[in-house]
Homo-oligomer: A and B are copies of this chain.
Amino acid sequence: MTDSPVSIDYGLAMAEGVGPLGGLRDEELDAESASFARAATNVATQVSSGVLGFWNLPSEEAQLAAVRQVRLGLPDELTDVLVLGIGGSSLGARAIYQALSGPMELAGLAKRTHARLHFPDNSDPWLLAALLDVLTPAKTVALVVSKSGGTVETAAQLLVIRHWLQSALDAEQVRRRIVAITDPEHGPLREEAAAERWPTLSVPANVGGRFSLLSPVGLLPALLAGTDIDDLLEGARDMAARCTTTVLHENPAGILAAIHVLQHRLRSRSIHVMLPYSDQLRPFAAWYVQLWAESLGKRVNRAGEVVEQGPTPIAAVGATDQHAQMQLFMEGPRDKLVTFVRVANAARDLVIPPGKGASSYLGGTSLHALLDAEREGTTQALATDGRPSITLSIERLDAHSLGALFFLYEAATAFAGELYGVHAFDQPGVELGKRLAYGLLGRAGYERTAQEIRTLQAKQPKRYRLA
């Protein structure tokens, strides 16, 4: 096989690299081989039986055609795209956008060849209200993204946006400016889209929200922003091919999963830090946090026993966090495993001009070379104190390597779910809070919940208050 778009160096997570207190011994990793082979087989079985859909998304030709078709139907003069979605319906598209389309804060300053994307991924009205002040309805399209079709934040935003479009445009113009991305058959958004004849794309029923970025959920926003989505999917396919083997030592996602699970189980590294040395990958780290936290943080295991387990993922960025979180990572509890992401070649670099005095040594080097030296220095500093890390390297950040990186972590999460013994594809823990909110909002059918939360509020002790 050719070189992988993402190489993994895990020597500093092993005893040979950082000693046996912080690193795994070969035999410990080897002992997980059989479990991993079962895990990989289980995942493959779920994939081939159609239960688990994310794995084959990179090869789904039909969705590409559908995405391109929808794009053709959108208004020609399109300056802005609102991605109305939250969590898995937003984080992946956001990660692609920042990695490949330039800094969002310069959206209105830089010349652009494609539409600007906006991600008001919250029920907080702050960003959406500011957007409606400056956007032009005729030149704006809203992508309404909700797998279930019932996400309350997104439903509320859709009502706001539709009203905003209707205030300026006629019915047919409005119809061309709302795209629904949702379940192929079920849910309120699917029904409404059909009734309103909005262009619609499907999130396959067997693909969960946080595993959906290689479906239209990520592909349509990426295409509108000018990303080569063929390259993105090709990178993902490249990685998928590497992640099918049941041989642990040859499977990059398997190695990532096993190192994390074993560092947790055997070395108490329960906090998993994603530390790209790249501003472009800041939202990638946020995407990883959702994927890892929501998939692996579970009350019950697969046997239905209460375990209340799961690693805590943390997003960081280098070199910035050397001045924020690194003090804790270097000197605090030995409960962290850090994953560095190195981009070998910068998309653009700045040469540092010559200076005098203390900083004269910087003259002639480049900012990216400085960044990379800082990454290497920090990696080795952690290692000298026996603190483990993994380094992922990519040659350059483009659609291909990004697609590979995404798939690598989706596969690693599926494997980690197997190795941790939990179901990685649900999120039952957020239902109660949602129901209680419905009760407060007076939603029909939630009258008992309304009573329930009033009772909880009344029981809340009032004397512990400083005001």
A376 / chain B contacts, CB cutoff of 8 Å: 436-437, 440, 453, 457
* Bitwise interface map of A from 344 to 370 toward B, beta carbon under 8 Å scored 1, else 0: 001111101111111101110111111
Q: Is the pair A428, B331 in contact by a Cβ cutoff of 8 Å?
A: yes
Q: Out of B88, B371, B437, which one reaches A374, CB within 8 Å?
A: B437
Q: Mark A433-457, 1 if CB is under 8 A from B, else 0.
A: 1111111111110000000010011
Interface segment, one of A54-62, A115-123, A172-180: A115-123
Task: Chain B residues near A9: list those with CB within 8 A.
Answer: 464-465
Q: How many copies does the complex hold?
A: 2
Cβ of A362 and Cβ of B156 under 8 Å apart? yes
**Which residues in B have their C-beta under 8 angstroms from that of A317?**
122
User: Considering residues A153, A250, A320, which has the most beta carbons from chain B within 10 angstroms of its beta carbon?
Assistant: A320
- In angstroms, Cα B270 to Cα A289, docked, is 18
> Nearest CB to that of A109 among chain B residues?
B108
User: For chain A residues 277-294, which have a beta carbon within 8 Å of chain B?
Assistant: 277-280, 286, 289-290, 293-294
Pick from B12, B124, B466: contact of A367, CB below 8 A.
B124
* A322, closest chain B residue (CB): B430
Nearest CB of B to A358, in Å: 4
Contacts of A371 in B (CB 8 A): 122-125
Q: How far is the CA of A353 from the CA of B277 in the complex (A)?
A: 44
Which residues in B have their C-beta under 8 angstroms from that of A327? 293-294, 297-298, 427-430
| Interface stretch (choices A42-50, A63-71, A128-136, A219-227) | A128-136
Bound complex: CA A7 to CA B465 (Å)? 7
- Chain B residues with CB under 8 A of A461: 11, 14, 16-17
A20 interface hit (Cβ, 8 Å): no
Q: Is the CB of A252 within 8 A of B466?
A: yes
A91 contacts chain B at the CB level, 8 A cutoff: yes
Determine if B325 and A367 form an interchain contact, defined as CB atoms under 8 angstroms apart: no
Most B CB contacts (10 A, CB to CB) among A16, A357, A374 go to A374
Instruction: Indicate whether A152 reaches chain B with its CB closer than 8 angstroms.
Output: yes
Q: Are B159 and A131 in contact (CB under 8 A)?
A: no
Q: Considering only CB atoms, which chain B residue lies closest to A13 in the complex? A: B464
Please give me the 10 A-B residue pairs with the lowest Cβ-Cβ distance, nearest first: A108-B108, A87-B323, A297-B328, A377-B437, A377-B436, A330-B429, A7-B467, A297-B332, A108-B109, A381-B433
Asked whether B380 lies within 8 Å of A457 as measured between CB atoms, the reply is yes
Chain B nearest CB, measured from A331 CB (Å): 4
Q: Is there contact, CB below 8 Å, between B460 and A368? A: no
User: Do A334 and B308 have beta carbons less than 8 Å apart?
Assistant: yes
Least Cβ distance of A237 to chain B in Å? 18
* Residue A107 at the chain B interface, CB threshold 8 Å: yes
Contacts of A328 in B (CB 8 A): 293-294, 296-297, 310, 312, 429
